[in-house]
Amino acid sequence: MRIEDLTALNHEQIRARFSNAPQEFPRRVTEEVKTIIRDVARRGDDALIENTRRFDGVELSKDNIEVGAAEIEECIGDADRAFSDALDVSIRRVTEFHRHERVEDWLYVDSLGNMLGRKCTPVEKVGIYIPGGKASYPSTLVMTAIPAIVAGVEQISLVTPPSSFNRPSALALAIKKIGKIDRVYRVGGVQGVAALALGTERVGKVDKIVGPGNIYVTVAKKELFGYVGIDMIAGPSEVLVITDGSADPMLAAMDLIAQAEHDERARAMCVATSIETARAVKREVERLLKKAERQKIARESIEKNGRIFAVSGEESAAEVANALAPEHLEIQTKDPKAILPRIRNAGAIFLGTCSAEAFGDYVAGPSHVLPTGGTARFFSPLNVLSFMKFSSVIDMSKKGMEELGPHAARFAEAEGLSSHAGSIYLRKED
């Protein structure tokens, strides 16, 4: 794992070192995604069947694109009791957390007697994408469906690769326990996202799509934004650990490896407040990698994308964090709460040595669907507000119309919109 010495840099130089370039996707990926989207738009279910055969090696028919309740029950099989209990804990805690995010309509009357306010409305139909492939992610269903349910979404649809229903299926158990997933489809990849956005004979069109996926799924969401709403443009998962040497370097190293085992593109990064601490973390990473069960994936991730940045102190460490705007930020220092006010950009912040990032993945409470690739500068974690729309409410009083009318009309005339002005004058005359 490479160490980069930044101890001589001031804060402005640190910000320049980590200036965020726009996230770009390979042209071949974008073109292939567009081709599949056009195919789904043109051929509907037939395109879903053909692309599932091509990418997943599974033969579907129009009759089994959707997964019914009876089949979900069968897919559960002999569920592991300990996992079932853990799933209950996760659902309960995630629900409890997101209930704190609920919002209400509000109205007020101003000094002219105008009633103004905001009306809050849940998105009507939401589609959730759950990845398959290298791992199974029932936790992602909890972290996407629960905020939608708390928000009051009327209809929730789920798309996921066919492998998610290999028996016993942890995802099937999560679907049953959550209980408010209306439609489930065994279609993943670009074709699954396109089906949700555009609708087919069997797959109902939704208003918004949420959930993580690989680069193809991410590009599909990007291309379909406008047909539907999306949560965010996500990239590879990432963690940044700030350590001042007061904690055992093994903790930072283990959390870096835990992030790296996601996939080869994951980014495991550390900021150490001295070069000695940086070297101690590096030694522990090298030692623990030899014991990692997913060693091949984790090692490739560490070697390609892993970094340890040595800086001159906590203020510089916070500047690195703000410049990188990481998905997960762990603060393993003597007084982590002292650094918290300095953090402006991060998806989820974990304070202290007890707060392993894995708690946020499963049972802490907040959703683990987080902004990546520096987008925490302007994106937020998935939350109840992600599933809400807001309408402004305007009820003009007669006094408000008379006093504000001339000002509104002058704006309209200045912009050359005479009918806008006329609509004001007409009301004043009446």
Q: Is 75 exposed, middle or buried (0-12, 13-18, 19+ CB in 10 A)?
A: buried
Residue 277, CB-side half-sphere exposure with 13 Å CA sphere = 26
DSSP string, 219-256: HHHHHHBTTBEES----S-EEEEEE-SSS-HHHHHHHH
Whether the ω angle into residue 168 lies within 30 degrees of 0, i.e. cis, is yes
| Distance of alpha carbon 402 from alpha carbon 95, whole angstroms | 48
| Distance of alpha carbon 63 from alpha carbon 185, whole angstroms | 11
Identify the three-state secondary structure at position 50: helix
> Which runs of consecutive H residues, i.e. helices, occur in 1-80?
11-17, 27-43, 45-56, 69-76
| Distance of alpha carbon 46 from alpha carbon 158, whole angstroms | 19
Of 18, 3, 7, 16, which is closest to residue 316 (Cα–Cα)?
7
Residue 14 CA from chain centroid, whole number: 27
| Distance of alpha carbon 212 from alpha carbon 130, whole angstroms | 7
Residue in 261, 314, 327, 357 annotated catalytic? 327
Residue in 328, 330, 357, 368 annotated catalytic? 328
Q: Which helix (H) or strand (E) holds 304?
A: helix 295-305
Does residue 11 have an active-site annotation?
no
Of 251, 325, 243, which is closest to residue 285 (Cα–Cα)?
251
Does residue 328 have an active-site annotation?
yes
Q: Per-residue b/e over 377-388, b at no fewer than 16 CB within 10 Å? A: eebebbbbbbbb
Sequence length of the chain is 430
Q: Which helix (H) or strand (E) holds 5?
A: strand 2-5
For the chain, how far is it from start to end, CA to CA, in angstroms?
A: 76
Active site residues: 327-328
